[in-house]
Amino acid sequence: MKNKTITIILSSLLVVSIGFNIYQFNRNNSLNESVATLRNELDTLKSDMDSLNNTIAEKDSEIADLSATITELNAAIESYKADISNKDKEIEELQAEIETLKQTAETKPQPQPSSGSSSGGGSSTTPPASNGQQTTQPSSDGTPTDQEIQDILNGLGGFGGSSADPNGGNGWNNI
């Protein structure tokens, strides 16, 4: 009987040992499958990360291009501001010069060339002065006409446009 008990104990141990080995084998297979799944997910995530890094690099390049464009545009804006400022100064100078010419025309009678009649709407011509030339008075509203301004400029020594206009103009068209 002793042998029988030993045989039963040994048989039981053999069955338990085989069952434990089967359990370990199944557990290892399950863990291996989990590891393989995690590795696939890791590879997918790495691929996604590489794609996102490429997108970031493209966006950084676009940002750098846009920054360069902004810098160029800011430089152009500053240049235009300087040009506008210069043009504003020129306009102010020209307006001051026009005002000076208007005041000169209002206060100082100028000789009129004897080449023909004046088309200075509203201006009156006085009889010949002592030097044999006619003088033109400003129009009634105080604003000189184009012809009067041309006469003033001609009297100052050759300023203004040519009066040899084939259409009979006063030369101000050349400005």
Per-residue pLDDT in tens (0 to 9) along the chain, 175 residues: 788 889 999 899 999 999 899 999 999 999 999 999 999 999 999 999 999 999 999 999 999 999 999 999 999 999 999 999 999 999 999 999 999 888 888 886 655 665 544 444 444 444 444 444 445 555 556 677 888 888 888 777 655 454 445 555 555 444 4
Question: What is the phi/psi pair of residue 111, to 5°?
Answer: -70, 145
Indicate the helix (H) or strand (E) that contains 48: helix 2-107
SS3 per-residue string spanning 56-79: HHHHHHHHHHHHHHHHHHHHHHHH
Distance CA 42, CA 93 (A): 75
Cα–Cα distance, 167 to 64 (Å, whole number): 60
pLDDT at 109: 62
Q: For the chain, what's the residue count?
A: 175
For residue 174, the 8-state DSSP code is G
